[in-house]
Structure 1
Amino acid sequence: MNSGKSIITLFAAAMLLSAVNGYGAGSKFGKVYPVSDPAKTSGWVLNTDVSDEFESRKLDEDKWLVQGRDGEYKSRWIGRAPSQFSPDNVRISDGKLMVETRWEPDFEFAAKKDKDGRSYENITTAAVISKKQFHYGYMEIKCKAADASITSSFWGTGKGSEIDVFEFNGRPSLKNKKGLEKEMMFTMIDWKTGKNVRMWRNKAHLDWRVAGEFHVYGCEWNEDYLKFYADGELVGEVTRAALGDKWVLKNPISVWVDSETFPWQGLPAKEDLPVDYEIEYIRVWQKQ
């Protein structure tokens, strides 16, 4: 057998297989496109600096900040009382990012109280934030919310502004909040004054429990509008023209995923925990 010709043949076959599978040279990402753009006609290019398939054994902490790691908290935010972020509640398992909520009364909670006088106690959660930012594009996540009265959120913050793609509650413990387990709430917030000023909010009612199975959620953001998607279907939108001076999303944003306690929706019981917010991927595209 001619070994030189065999090597060339094998190399050519490997390159062909790579092309068929959609992988580019030197990239761990496939040629993936937003679920909302099945025809692949919108000119999206994946921004790998703020995207992750979570297929490694450990979270890439060159790309992601874990709140509380080495005592570092972005925006000096330790979590929403009574829960507190713990870096130990973040792990990679079976190709997914797990954001865990635990009943952990022996955790070393902050001694201070929050602005409403609540103590940090009993419940630990977690937050993961992109170290790099992006300005305009499409952010998408495939996930399953935690199946407890705890939030599972996908959002972004920039200079003086915030966008919440969703803040799911998988199983609210307050009976009058049960509808939240099928609800997708999206919000634009102005932080320029240092206070949370809601500029716009809307919601969509979904056909599934957000903690029941994996689904894909996305948000397209440009200088003129916001559009929100669930499994590729448009479920909400707002334009800059409609909001006028209330439009505050003008600066680059970091991507966040986290879990928090929302006391006004009910707290999880000890027997409901631990529970995971499971994330199969986070992807961000921008226009060519």
Structure 2
Amino acid sequence: MLLIGVVMMQILKNFNLKACVVSIGLGLGLSACGAMNAPVQTDNNRQVMPFSDQQNRAGWILNTQVSDEFDSSTLDEDRWYVVGKFENGKPVYKHPDKPNKKVWKGRAPSQFSGRNYRLEDGKLILETRWEPDFPFETEIHKPVFGEAVPYENITTACLIGRRFFTYGYVEIKAKAADAEISSAFWSIGEKLEIDFFELFGDGREGDKDHLDRQLWWSVRDWSPAVRGKPTYTEKKDLGFRVADDFHVYGFEWDESGIKYYVDGKLFSQVTAEEVTEWARENREVPADYNGYVATKPISLWLDQETFPWHGIPDSLEDLEKNSPEGEKHDGVVDYEIEYVRVWQKPQHINQ
């Protein structure tokens, strides 16, 4: 029966149909459906491919279970968990798949609000708001990094992917918010964090004027050995302000290492061995420590955060310093995302 099911799925795949119908009917499980779904189509009815590999020489297969074009009128909440959705006038922090696990409320002084996003013109827009009357968490928490400060004044958005995958090509087309706010795209796995980027939209004058052109990405180990510090990180000048326009950021990730692409061109790369070497040189770890911890399933995160070490908006006017005329008093700045796409190699599907 299993062999028949596999053959039937391949036949349906060749006819560009959803093979998961067969897998469900034969009791093969839902896990096969993700990679077998009919691929997302562009406006001119061509299959979308990584911006750096338009001819698909690498043989990528789009994972439609974690990718999102954001072209619907409502957010797919089977795909994304909206952190801080409101119930009875208050934000609730309870993950639908992990109801007993503590949900992070954001980096103080900002707090995640489930009202801070919208879908508009085929884009997902995450909002940072100047919102002093928000029902903020009153307890002051000591963060892993930085000083303990209260939640106040600023609300942000956070969406967490509800499905996991291991290895692939992760791509986002986005424009950072033009403010003293981080616009981030990252991921979490078991004792693992991969930060694809943390873009700071407004680098003020002086020693911070480079921040709004900087790509900051990291691999982090949350085991006791390192406790969340990067086992590898880079901060590089992109050559453009991240809040001025949309750009495509691509992250190719597998057992051997990572390649980073910006607007389709290779921007940086590191091998698994080089990550371990960096970790041993920069962290207090045993001589046999393996720093390449990016080997486990991850789920995607999209959010905004305040970075106290870079600077925090201290008023509505400060938050909206760079907003267009006519929008400087609405108390909202936008992080815009046109799409998130994930492709995988056949050998990594369903890992």
User: 1:145 — aligned with what?
Assistant: 176
Gaps of 5+ in 1: 1-22
Question: Do residues 34 (structure 1) and 50 (structure 2) align?
Answer: yes
TM-score (structure 2 length as normaliser) = 0.73
Question: Do residues 96 (structure 1) and 128 (structure 2) align?
Answer: no
Is contact 2:39-2:62 (8 Å) kept?
no
1:19-98 correspondence runs (5 A): 24-25=16-17, 27=38, 29-30=40-41, 31-69=47-85, 71-73=92-94, 75-98=102-125
Cα offset, 1:192, TM superposition = 1.5
SS at match of 1:259: strand
- In structure 2, C-alpha distance between the alignment counterparts of 1:66 and 1:254, rounded to whole Å: 14
TM-score (structure 1 length as normaliser) = 0.88
The 1:112–1:128 alpha-carbon spacing in structure 2 relative to 1, beyond 3 Å, is: same
SS at match of 1:242: helix
Letter aligned with residue 257 of structure 1: L
Is contact 2:260-2:266 (8 Å) kept?
yes
Identity value in percent: 48
- In structure 2, C-alpha distance between the alignment counterparts of 1:67 and 1:177, rounded to whole Å: 30
- In structure 1, C-alpha distance between the alignment counterparts of 2:183 and 2:299, rounded to whole Å: 17
- In structure 2, C-alpha distance between the alignment counterparts of 1:262 and 1:212, rounded to whole Å: 20
Greater CA drift, 111-120 or 159-168: 111-120
Cα offset, 1:172, TM superposition = 3.0
Is contact 1:150-1:172 (8 Å) kept?
no
Query: Aligned to 1:248, which of 293, 297, 300?
Result: 293
- In structure 2, C-alpha distance between the alignment counterparts of 1:62 and 1:118, rounded to whole Å: 34
Question: Do residues 234 (structure 1) and 245 (structure 2) align?
Answer: no
Letter aligned with residue 280 of structure 1: E
Cα offset, 1:178, TM superposition = 1.5
- In structure 1, C-alpha distance between the alignment counterparts of 2:74 and 2:196, rounded to whole Å: 26
- In structure 2, C-alpha distance between the alignment counterparts of 1:66 and 1:174, rounded to whole Å: 35
- In structure 2, C-alpha distance between the alignment counterparts of 1:111 and 1:173, rounded to whole Å: 30
Question: Do residues 179 (structure 1) and 210 (structure 2) align?
Answer: yes
Cα offset, 1:28, TM superposition = 7.1
Query: Aligned to 1:279, which of 333, 337, 340?
Result: 337
Cα offset, 1:195, TM superposition = 2.8
SS at match of 2:115: helix
SS at match of 1:278: strand
Q: Deviations over 1:4-39 (max 9, x none)?
A: xxxxxxxxxxxxxxxxxxx95564711111011123
1:188-227 correspondence runs (5 A): 188-193=219-224, 195-227=227-259
Letter aligned with residue 121 of structure 2: D
Cα offset, 1:150, TM superposition = 0.2
- In structure 2, C-alpha distance between the alignment counterparts of 1:24 and 1:99, rounded to whole Å: 34
SS at match of 1:243: helix
SS at match of 2:207: helix
CA RMSD of aligned residues (A): 1.7
The 1:49–1:197 alpha-carbon spacing in structure 2 relative to 1, beyond 3 Å, is: same
User: 1:126 — aligned with what?
Assistant: 157
More strand by percentage? 1
Question: Do residues 270 (structure 1) and 316 (structure 2) align?
Answer: yes
Cα offset, 1:170, TM superposition = 0.8
- In structure 2, C-alpha distance between the alignment counterparts of 1:119 and 1:270, rounded to whole Å: 18
- In structure 1, C-alpha distance between the alignment counterparts of 2:110 and 2:60, rounded to whole Å: 38
- In structure 1, C-alpha distance between the alignment counterparts of 2:17 and 2:121, rounded to whole Å: 25
Greater CA drift, 158-167 or 199-208: 199-208
Letter aligned with residue 101 of structure 1: T
Larger RCO of the pair (alpha carbons < 8 Å, separation 6+)? 1
Q: Deviations over 1:120-145 (max 9, x none)?
A: 00000011111001100010000100
